[in-house]
Structure 1
Amino acid sequence: MAITPQSNEAFLREVDEELRRDQLATFWERHGRWLIVGIIAALSLFGGWLYWQHHREQVAGAEGEKLADAYRALGEEKTQTAQPVLNSLASSSRPGIRASALATQADLLLEKKDTKGAAAKFAAIAGDSSIGQPLRDLALVRQTAAEFDTLRPQVVVERLRSLAVKGNPFFGSAGEMVAIAQLRMGRRDLAGQMLGQIANDPDVPATIRQRTVQMAGAMGVDAIADSKDNKSQ
């Protein structure tokens, strides 16, 4: 009996399908177990990632509550209650929590007149690259203020050079310390110029501006007038 083209085509399809089934069965026998292992591993990793994310959120919330409790204790003058909490949070894996705890510890040390200990806490924040730059800059300013009397004037100028510029959020505080350091170095010209810029900068807090005017006046420099002259040139 002759095979028609239609039946021949059907036969070839059956052979092709049978061959594919055999190939699939062979492939599954050889690699099926590893495919299952791979899928389970991928699902486990994904589940672990979800758990880690959830755990991070829980830890962040718990640490935030602990920090708030510490602040409440300090507000009630219960320093002994707050200290252990701050100690634990000072090593937190979350930069914001860690920075807040360290800064609070530094403030408590300043209240005890321990400027060296406070400066070390601020230095830890300033040198931590995982903490946001604004917090690091603030810590650097406060560190320098804490140890200002023990630093060589040139160290103060170099340390705060990048912050003692108009437009920087800490221009007033950093510039004031730089100006005093310049005076100690005998650079009245640079100090007067810096004081003038601070005194005439509306973005600088009024208390600092008033203080720089008084400082400039004490050294015979009209800070506001000088600053206006510099603007007009």
Structure 2
Amino acid sequence: MTPKTDEAFLREVDEELRRDQIVGVWKNYGRVIIGLIVAALAIFAGVLGWRAWSHGAAEKQAIELQQAYDSIASGNSQAAKAPIDKLASDSAPGYRALAKMLQGNDLLAAGKTKEAAAKYGEVAGDSSVGQPIRDLATIRQTHTEFDALAPQVVIDRLKPLATSDSAWLGSAGEMIAMADLKLNRQAEARAMFKLIAESDKVPDSIRQRAVQATQALDPGTNVQKGK
């Protein structure tokens, strides 16, 4: 053979060998390959179906929660009770947490402080819920049962929320300072009140109380907002 003819022959042999290999694989594993393809398509279709169902369910729960809010705002809390109870027991984590917070508010309004604190505690301890809602629940729980808690429990529970860059500095810090006063730790209480008074992230009502408390504990203290 000439070099060109030899090269063409080898290429034809190589192509024929590849075809034989493909045919062999298909004969031996064709059904398995088809099964895998069908299974992959079924899984893909299932994921799309689940997403559509989940979106529809979340939309329905959002509407139910909004209707409950509207009923409460109009003074018809009784009409809101059934949908809130349903959402609190069977809904997505976020809607479930908000429904439980509403249940806690309703219990608190009825004077059932222990039950209300327990409901807030359920939300605070739910790791499937977003941290901002859990933090709010912790604030509400501690405020509700403040008088019944040991001061050190209040301090330990709220300390992570009473930092200068925390959105909860005002509420958490105020309760921590009051707990410090119960323990006769005036220096710690004064420092916390001063931190609140000088923060520009704290609501004015809480800040004004902190300013008054700081000056009462140390009349010579100069408080400047946003310092």
TM-score over 0.5 (shorter chain): yes
1:226 and 2:221 equivalent? Answer: yes
What is the one-letter code of the residue matched to 2:100? L
Residue deviations 1:62-103 (CA, integer Å, cap 9, x gap): 110111111122223332321121122123452321221111
Gaps of 5+ in 2: none
TM-score by length of 2: 0.86
Residue deviations 1:143-171 (CA, integer Å, cap 9, x gap): 10000010001111111112222221111
Q: Secondary structure at the match of 2:166?
A: coil
What is the one-letter code of the residue matched to 2:221? D
Count residues with an aligned counterpart. 226
Q: Tell me how far apart the structure 2 counterparts of residues 4 and 204 of structure 1 sit (CA, whole Å).
A: 92
RMSD: 2.7
Q: Secondary structure at the match of 2:161?
A: coil
TM-score by length of 1: 0.84
Q: Secondary structure at the match of 1:162?
A: helix
Q: Tell me how far apart the structure 1 counterparts of residues 26 and 50 of structure 2 sit (CA, whole Å).
A: 34
Residue 139 of structure 1, CA deviation:
1.3
Give the greater-gyration-radius structure (CA).
1
Equivalent residues in 2 for 1:69-88 (5 A)?
A: 69-88=67-86
Match of 1:179 in 2: 177
Equivalent residues in 2 for 1:149-164 (5 A)?
A: 149-164=147-162
Match of 2:93 in 1: 95
Q: 1:13 to 1:119 in 2, by over 3 A?
A: same
Q: Tell me how far apart the structure 2 counterparts of residues 93 and 131 of structure 1 sit (CA, whole Å).
A: 12
Q: Tell me how far apart the structure 1 counterparts of residues 222 and 120 of structure 2 sit (CA, whole Å).
A: 33
**Relative to structure 2, which stretch is displaced further, 202-211 or 55-64?**
202-211
Q: 1:179 to 1:22 in 2, by over 3 A?
A: closer
Q: Tell me how far apart the structure 2 counterparts of residues 17 and 199 of structure 1 sit (CA, whole Å).
A: 83
8 Å CA contact 1:126, 1:135 repeated in 2: yes
Q: Tell me how far apart the structure 1 counterparts of residues 118 and 151 of structure 2 sit (CA, whole Å).
A: 19
Residue deviations 1:33-58 (CA, integer Å, cap 9, x gap): 11111110010011111111111111
**Relative to structure 2, which stretch is displaced further, 61-70 or 71-80?**
71-80
Task: Please point out which of 28, 32, 39 is paired with 1:30.
Answer: 28
8 Å CA contact 1:73, 1:81 repeated in 2: yes
8 Å CA contact 2:186, 2:217 repeated in 1: no
Q: Tell me how far apart the structure 1 counterparts of residues 211 and 151 of structure 2 sit (CA, whole Å).
A: 21
Residue 20 of structure 1, CA deviation:
4.8
Residue 203 of structure 1, CA deviation:
2.0
Equivalent residues in 2 for 1:181-196 (5 A)?
A: 181-196=179-194
1:212 and 2:207 equivalent? Answer: no
Residue 117 of structure 1, CA deviation:
1.4
Identity of aligned residues (%): 45
Match of 1:56 in 2: 54
Residue 196 of structure 1, CA deviation:
2.2
Q: 1:216 to 1:6 in 2, by over 3 A?
A: closer
8 Å CA contact 1:200, 1:227 repeated in 2: no
Gaps of 5+ in 1: none
What is the one-letter code of the residue matched to 1:40? V
